[in-house]
Amino acid sequence: MRAVLPILLLLAGCGGADDAREAENVALDPAVLVPKSTATSVAGVDLTQAVRAFGTEPYWTLDIAPRQIRFEDLDIKHGKPVEWAPRPAKIEGITATIATLTPGGEAVTITLRGESCLDVGGEGSALPLKAVVRIGERTLTGCAGQNLATAPDGNVAL
């Protein structure tokens, strides 16, 4: 029995202060508070469902649905939506990337990153994704989140 007591005391010392500090650091890590990415989602946003991204200065919107990507830029096209070929998102960690083309063949890269983003100049609520849209040499930045305005056929509802 005397031999067992020192072993029990030794085992009781395992997982002490270092483990408590480790758990505290994890609890304070903001990345832990962000919903995890899955094979089809980033920061809790399901990319198999409709997603809306938008930005201001210039004002633009981007609706991504399973069967359609619709882009609208009020500065260039005067509010006339342009459709791009839908492509599946490639998800790595907290980032989803969609590579497609404009109807004129210009390269488009849409990047959605799982970071809190304030919409409309910070006056609205925080959205779960930051959006970067590269159209050729042009780069637009904004926010994105789940968009429930999808028609039953999988297209973006207006």
| Phi, psi angles (nearest 5°) of residue 142 | -175, -155
Spatial contact of 96 and 48, defined as CB atoms under 8 Å apart: no
Asked if residue 64 and residue 11 are part of one domain, the reply reads no
Asked if residue 73 and residue 121 are part of one domain, the reply reads yes
pLDDT at 6: 44
Does some domain include residue 135? yes
Q: Which residues of the chain have pLDDT under 70?
A: 1-38, 76-79, 119-124, 148-158
Does some domain include residue 108? yes
pTM for the structure as a whole: 0.68
Does some domain include residue 70? yes
pLDDT at 24: 43
pLDDT at 149: 52
User: Tens digits of per-residue pLDDT, 71-86?
Assistant: 998 876 566 889 998 8
Does some domain include residue 158? no
Asked if residue 67 and residue 46 are part of one domain, the reply reads yes
Asked if residue 131 and residue 66 are part of one domain, the reply reads yes
Determine the Cα–Cα distance for residues 119 and 142; give it in Å rounded to an integer: 8
Q: How many domains does the chain have?
A: 2
Helix spans in the chain (H): 4-12, 17-28, 30-33
The residue segments making up the domain with residue 29 are 4-33
Asked if residue 128 and residue 107 are part of one domain, the reply reads yes
Does some domain include residue 154? no
pLDDT at 131: 96
